[in-house]
Amino acid sequence: MPRKVVIKIKARDGAHDFSAPLNFGLADCCCLAMPLDMVPGKIRAVGSKPVREVLDGLEQMYEDLYGDE
Amino acid sequence: MGSSEGDNHFWQSWGDLWTDESPEFDNGQAWRKHFTSFLGVAPEEHWVFKGRRFKPWISGKLGAPGLFNPIVAMVLSRGGGLLSLYVLHLLAEKPRYGNDIMKEIEVRTHGGWGPNPGAVYPMLTSMEESGFVEGEWEDPKKRTRRIYRLTSEGKDELERIKEVMRPKLEDAIQVLRHLNADLDLDLDVEGGGYA
């Protein structure tokens, strides 16, 4: 049985392959895609919330945590 | 930031290490050692970073340890460890009780985040057991409302975690901005992003 899978993440400059554990999920893929400016598929929502809503909440949190520094 | 004194700055000192050609970097052990040195406990044992989502980040087995973003994993796992950071932050402002914390998070994020009581109350209990907060019943007889205040140990922990998390949180916001922009443009990205 293979212990790793190859994940293909589409980016604007082409596809990139990663070797990853079998239990890798969508969240993990986003983590990999993020620093390389890639798009890990079409994500409509995070949990039950639209991405825009989650982003707004996260930005508010960041401002609250680090805004004074 | 409280923990950003000179050479003790987490990311600065990690960047210095990263230029080293030590063979330790091959298996992520240098990252683990650096983390342990900074936070006083191994990453997999740290209360904020326990769980499957953090394993790739902790081990560095997927390449450079910085490649994996634990904040994004937290966000896409419905809050997770990010909530603990924010709860400590709110308690640093003033003592609060559980329901107050949940309402405050919801207000400050304009309704974007509504923490689950099933996550907040066990977390507060865990923080109290760890010595990061002290709890006291508002009315010891009725025991209906427990007020939590941050201890000096909790304040130190908050500053350390904020230090580690800041660049990751910034990156997480960036990836969500990218995602949001792509959704608005409705680009056709074939095949999804994962196997």
Per-residue tokens: A32: 């990999």
**Least Cα separation, residue B193 to chain A (angstroms):** 4
Alpha helices in chain A (DSSP H): 26-33, 51-66
- Answer yes or no: do B176 and A51 touch at CB < 8 A: yes
The band of B38, judged by pLDDT with boundaries at 50, 70 and 90, is: confident
Model-level pTM? Answer: 0.71
Report which DSSP code applies to B44. Answer: G
First to last CA, chain B: 40
User: Which residues on A lie below 8 Å from B75 (Cβ)?
Assistant: 27, 46, 54, 58
How much is the average pLDDT of B159-168?
86
The ipTM is: 0.72
Residues B146-179 as b/e (b if ≥16 CB within 10 A, e otherwise) read: ebbebbeebeebbbbbbbbbbebbebbbbbbebb
Q: What is the pLDDT of residue B97?
A: 96
% of chain B surpassing 90 pLDDT: 25
Is the Cβ of B76 closer than 8 Å to some Cβ of chain A?
Answer: yes
Q: What is the pLDDT of residue B4?
A: 40
Q: A17-53 pLDDT, tens per residue?
A: 666 655 566 666 666 665 555 554 444 555 556 677 7
The pLDDT of residue B104 is above 60: yes
Q: What is the pLDDT of residue B5?
A: 44
**Nearest residue in chain A measured CA to CA from B83:** A61
B132: closest CA among B163, B168, B90? B90
* Residue listed under structure tokens 């990999």: A32
Q: B118-153 pLDDT, tens per residue?
A: 888 988 998 999 999 999 999 999 888 999 999 999
Q: B61-91 pLDDT, tens per residue?
A: 655 566 667 777 666 654 446 788 889 999 9
Among B18-22, B56-60, B118-122, where is mean pLDDT lowest?
B18-22
* Residue listed under structure tokens 């240098």: B30
The pLDDT of residue B154 is above 70: yes
- Answer yes or no: do B76 and A26 touch at CB < 8 A: yes
Distance CA B161, CA B154 (A): 10
Report which DSSP code applies to A38. Answer: B
The pLDDT of residue B189 is above 50: no
